[in-house]
Amino acid sequence: MTVEDVQEVPVLIVGGGLTGLSAAMFLSQHGIDCRLVERHKGTTILTRASGISSRTMELLRDVGLEQTIVERGPKLIEGARWRELGQPANQIPWVVIRSNGLGDLENAVVVEEPSLDVGHLSPTKPYWCGQDRLEPILRDEAVRRGAHITFNTVMDSFSADENGVTATVTDRGTGRTSTVRAQYLIAADGVRSPVRESLGITRQGHGTVGCAMSVLFKADLKETVRGRRFVICYLPNPDEPGVLQMPDVPAVLQLFDEERWIFGFFYDPRETRAEEFTEERCAQIIRTATGIPDLEIEVQMARPWEMSHNNADAYRSGRVFLAGDAAHVHPPAGAFGANGGIQDAHNLAWKLAAVLRGEAGEALLDTYEQERRPIGAAVADQAWIRHTWRLNDSEELRRALREATLVSTGYRYTSDAVLGPGYPEPIPTEHDLTGRPGARVPHVWLERDGGRVSTVDLSDTTFVLLTGPDGDEWAAAAEKVTAATGIPLSCHVLADGDFTAVTGLSRDGALLVRPDDFVAWRADSAPEDAHGALQDALDRILARP
């Protein structure tokens, strides 16, 4: 074993899944150097975490990846719309059903049929792109922007002090060990997070729901399915219950593959070890669950995993931050997990960038936990409710459900980086994207250079000030603040009446929007000293001394 010189880097990221790769990409977007280490040899080959919410698509749109994802993913359509169009073969309906067997799909119950019509909420919409395809997209963009990413590399140990983190990492291929000195460490190292465990951070929740097995298999089900399509079908067979899922088919085909499927089921490890689920045993379980005893099945892959419901009691420990599954984990119902991890990374990246550039005080980093931990708990609960409800419908569970776009886009922050009254719960019962501090800025289409741009598009890496048609005073104030602080702050005087109509601002009112698109401060009308008010607001939000 050889030891190299110490490598110094502002941020070290441990874990190269969707959360870690997103963190590397967003930090690089802000011009922050980072190093990412991932123990696996490359990005995942497993098809999972396919649903990308409109909110996550907004973040990926900001880095120029929207069209890439659209081109590489299958064409997704609302279930009702798919039926109206005559069930086109080149589109996949976003519908979750429950059936007593594949032979009884005519009587299947539609459990969930999320709306893709979010044009009133967002400049983009949800898409379907599996983790096996999204991870390389994020990796390539992060590297293009300057991130240093090494796979087949493990962090052996780390120690933190008041000034940073010192880590020892080993290239598993060469055996070469090196030391990395970083100012901050992001732990995106998964459900079992060695970093979280070494810090002694505990978790709260229902704990381990059960051990599950995901089986990728081939079987000719065309005659059985008969064109009835879905992304998920719950099969509550009393002998072998499970979930049948549409695999993320190659985009070049753009066809629903009625021969390749994914089946998931729970098992008790006290009775059966994971390795005892042979190909034939998995095939027999699938036959029982689907109600087709003579179905010919070719099992291509079987992978065990653990379904859990937990939220970390802390998302920060000094110079170390937890993100993604290391911070929060829950059942996959609702497709909230990967989206939450990417949104964690985005929230943390702009704050780290502001502190590292000297634009913000260290206390700004405390707001990562203040904002994301309540969201992590609330989303985990929504996933838990969905998982339980899909298997056992009840009116009580139905009332506790929040509509999917509320969970993914309508959530609110209460923190020191938001100047306004707090919220009793992070996920409301109905949308209120009207420019209130702590909520994402409302989506309004604007005309610019002969094209269309959304208000959501204006704050990709900087603070922006949005004001009504009589807001010239705010524009002058923004210039003064930038000149005095060096902090980029652009002002957009919006002549379009839709903006003031949606926000309820007067013609000279303004919204101060953070780099993550969330409203940080609101002035219903211009005060006598707009410059002083704006400077004070920005100083408080950024925890500037």
Which residues have a catalytic role annotated?
Answer: 234
By DSSP bridging, strand 148-150 and strand 34-37 are: parallel
Euclidean distance between CA atoms 197 and 189, whole angstroms: 11
The one-letter amino acid code at 376 reads: G
Euclidean distance between CA atoms 333 and 505, whole angstroms: 38
Euclidean distance between CA atoms 96 and 92, whole angstroms: 12
Neighbour count for residue 207 (Cβ, 10 Å): 9
Phi-psi region of 366 (alpha: psi -120 to 50; beta: other; left: phi over 0): alpha
Euclidean distance between CA atoms 199 and 476, whole angstroms: 47
**Helix or strand holding residue 78 (H, E):** strand 76-78
Euclidean distance between CA atoms 199 and 313, whole angstroms: 12
Task: Decide: helix, strand or coil at residue 221.
Answer: coil
Euclidean distance between CA atoms 534 and 536, whole angstroms: 5
Alpha carbon 97 to chain centroid distance?
Answer: 24
Euclidean distance between CA atoms 372 and 375, whole angstroms: 5
Neighbour count for residue 427 (Cβ, 10 Å): 19
447 has which bridge partners? 452
How open is the CA angle 195-198-199, to the nearest 5 degrees?
85
Euclidean distance between CA atoms 153 and 136, whole angstroms: 17
CB 148 within 8 A of CB 36: yes
Burial 281-302 (b: 16+ CB within 10 A, else e): ebbebbbbbbbbeebebebeeb
Euclidean distance between CA atoms 262 and 158, whole angstroms: 38
- Which of 221, 218, 234, 296 shows the shortest CA–CA distance to 266? 234
The length of the chain, given as a count of residues: 545
Q: SS3 string of 229-272?
A: CCCEEEECCCCCCEEEECCCCCCCCCCCCCCEEEEEEEECCCCC
- Which of 316, 318, 319, 336 shows the shortest CA–CA distance to 327? 316
